[in-house]
Amino acid sequence: MNKKLSLKLSGGRHVQGILQGFDIFMNLVIDEGVEKATSRQQNNTGMGVLQKNSIMLEALERV
């Protein structure tokens, strides 16, 4: 855990954050989340749970 991830979500959304945990269904708990909007605007989202439905992830650090 505690690995930095870059997550591409459904609807063209993009979130970066630190992986804090996951469950057997591959739902992810992300801390220090930052949503990067298409207009190069960044929104701090803090800690949250992302559902597995359409997450494509890329590890920014070796997992």
Q: Is 41 exposed, middle or buried (0-12, 13-18, 19+ CB in 10 A)?
A: exposed
Domain of 8, in residue numbers: 3-59
Question: Which tens digits make up the pLDDT trace of 15-25?
Answer: 999 999 999 98
CA 10 centroid distance within chain: 12
Residue 26, both tokens: 């591959």
At residue 41, the pLDDT reads 86
Residue found by looking up tokens 């063209």 in the block? 12
Largest CA distance in the chain: 35
At residue 51, the pLDDT reads 87
Question: Which tens digits make up the pLDDT trace of 27-61?
Answer: 999 999 999 877 778 899 999 999 887 787 667 77
CATH number at residue 52: 2.30.30.100
**Total domains in the fold of the chain:** 1
